[in-house]
């Protein structure tokens, strides 16, 4: 035989325990909702600060690019800095597909102005080792080489990069060309 507990005080205790548990869960829920709201506010604030910092950085970069463009544009030349890293040949093809060619650097002013990135320039000795030629087939007259460059390391460095300033290397804007394997992937500078 099954006996049911018919003691009203026992039911009352059970109901009170359930009510306490419900109240405790409601308090926890309220605390969690408050915490969620505070975290959302913190996230929104941090996102806003990050956006403000990014806008400030981009504004400074835009001003620098405008100064560089103004210097380079004096001679009526237009430059396109590629956003994609490609081999030297593919970089040249990209430039030609856009009505330009890889940049020819034949003055100190142009060299210093373009000294911002590690990029391909329109110089190589692909046809004959040691005979540097520009993409317009003119012969190199003045170079801005790194010390001990060009060195044709490994016997297959035929394309020239502009090697940008790096803190450890303290590169000069007038001494930073380096010969590289033409298959290396870098951005290029197109000139029109």
Do 114 and 189 touch, CB atoms closer than 8 A? yes
Q: For tokens 């502009």, name the residue.
A: 162
DSSP 5: -
pLDDT tens series, the chain, 192 aa: 555 556 666 767 788 888 888 888 898 899 899 999 998 888 888 888 888 888 888 888 887 777 666 665 666 677 788 889 999 999 999 999 988 999 999 888 888 877 677 899 999 999 888 899 999 999 999 888 888 888 888 888 999 998 875 555 666 777 888 899 999 999 999 998
pTM of the model: 0.60
Strands 101-102 and 119-124: unpaired
- Cis before 150 (ω within 30): yes
Dihedral angle sign, alpha carbons of residues 160, 164, 165, 167: negative
């Amino acid at each position: 035989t099954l006996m049911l507990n018919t003691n009203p005080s026992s039911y009352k205790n059970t109901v009170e325990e359930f009510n306490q548990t419900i109240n405790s869960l409601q308090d926890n829920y309220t605390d969690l909702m408050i915490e969620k709201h505070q975290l959302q506010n913190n996230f929104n604030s941090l996102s806003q600060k990050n956006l403000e910092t990014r806008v400030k950085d981009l504004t400074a970069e835009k001003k620098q690019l405008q100064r560089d463009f103004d210097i380079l544009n004096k001679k009526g030349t237009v430059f396109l800095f590629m956003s994609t890293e490609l081999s030297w040949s593919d970089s040249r093809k990209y430039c030609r597909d856009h009505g330009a060619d890889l940049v020819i650097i034949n003055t100190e002013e142009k060299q210093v102005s373009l000294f911002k990135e590690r990029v391909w320039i329109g110089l190589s000795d692909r046809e004959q080792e040691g005979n540097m030629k520009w993409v317009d087939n003119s012969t190199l007259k003045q170079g801005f080489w790194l010390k001990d460059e060009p060195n044709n390391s490994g016997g297959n460095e035929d394309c020239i990069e502009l090697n940008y300033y790096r803190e450890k290397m303290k590169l000069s804007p007038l001494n930073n060309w380096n010969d590289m394997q033409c298959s290396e992937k870098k951005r290029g500078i197109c000139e029109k």
